[in-house]
Chain A
Amino acid sequence: MVIVFNKTMMTAWRLVARACSAINRRSSVPSHVYCTSVALSGSRSFSTGTAVRKDFFKGADVESYVKDFREKARAINPGSDWHPLHLTPGLPPERTDILIVGGGVVGWSIAYWLKKKERIRDGVRVLVVEKDPTYSQASTVLSAGGIRQQFSMPENIHLSMASADFMRNINEHLSVLNEDPVDLQFNHSGYLFLASENGAEIMEENYRIQRSAGAKVTLLSPTQLKEKFPWMNTEEVVLASYGLENEGWFDPWTLLNAFRRKAMSMGVFQCFGEVTGFKYRTHSMMTEDGDLVDLTRIRYVNVRMPNSLEYQPVECAIVVNAAGANAGEVAKLAGIGSGPQDTIGAIPVPVEPRKRFIYVLHCPDGPGLDAPFVIDYSGVYFRREGLGGNYITGMSPEEEEEPATTDLEVDHEFFQEKIWPHLANRVPAFEKLKVTSAWAGYYDYNTFDQNGILGLHPLVNNMYFATGFSGHGLQQSPAAGRALAELILDGGFRTLDLSALGFQRILSNRPALERNIV
Chain B
Amino acid sequence: MALLMLMKSQGCVRSCVTITSRNLSSAPAPLAPPKLNSKLALFLYQRFHDVEQMVSWSSWLKRWTLRRKNVYYGYTQMHYGDNVAAAYYILCMKGRFRFAGQSDWFQTNYRGKFSWDFMNFRDVPIEEVDMSGTLINYSGLDNLESQQGLRSLSLRGCPEVDDWFLSHLHIFQDSLEELDLSHCSQITVGGLASLHRLRKLRRLGLSSLPRLQSPGLVRILLEEVLPHCHISGVEYSQGLDETGTDTGLQTETEINQLTEDHTYTQGPHRQTLTR
Contact = CB atoms under 8 A, between A and B. Distances in A.
Interface of A: 121, 168, 171-172, 175, 177-178, 180-181, 183, 185-190, 216, 236, 244-246, 248, 362, 364, 368-370, 378, 385-388, 390, 420-422, 424-425, 428, 430-434
Contacts of B268: 420-421, 424
Which residue, A236, A246, A368, A432, has most C-beta atoms of chain B within 10 A? Answer: A368
A430 B249 CA distance: 19
A421 B197 contact: no
Contacts of B205: none
B188 A185 contact: yes
Given A385-B248, A432-B265, A434-B258, 10 more contacts: A121-B49, A178-B19, A245-B170, A362-B258, A369-B192, A369-B196, A369-B218, A369-B221, A424-B268, A428-B270
Given A172-B63, A362-B258, A369-B196, A432 B266 contact: yes
Given A368-B221, A368-B224, A432-B267, A378 B49 contact: no
A370 B198 CA distance: 11
Contacts of A236: 275
Interface stretch (B90-98, B115-123, B161-169): B161-169
B275 A425 contact: yes
Contacts of B274: 421
B19 A189 contact: no
B163 A189 contact: no
Contacts of A385: 248
Nearest to A236: B275
Contacts of B9: none
A240 B229 CA distance: 26
Nearest to A184: B190
Interface of B: 19-20, 22-24, 29, 42, 45, 49, 55, 63, 138, 163-164, 166-168, 170, 188-194, 196-197, 214, 217-218, 221-222, 224-225, 247-250, 258, 263-268, 270, 272-275
Nearest to B53: A121
A388 B249 contact: yes
Given A387-B189, A387-B247, A388-B248, A188 B267 contact: no
A83 to B, nearest CB: 35
Contact of A245 (B19, B167, B193, B225): B167
B163 A425 contact: no
A425 B273 contact: yes
Nearest to A417: B268
Contact of B164 (A178, A188, A364, A431): A188
Nearest to B138: A168
Contacts of A190: 194
Contacts of A186: 163-164, 190
A428 B266 CA distance: 11
B22 A181 contact: yes
A432 B266 CA distance: 5
16 contacts: A177-B45, A188-B164, A188-B190, A188-B194, A189-B193, A236-B275, A246-B167, A248-B167, A370-B193, A370-B196, A370-B225, A386-B249, A387-B247, A388-B247, A421-B268, A424-B267
A413 to B, nearest CB: 14
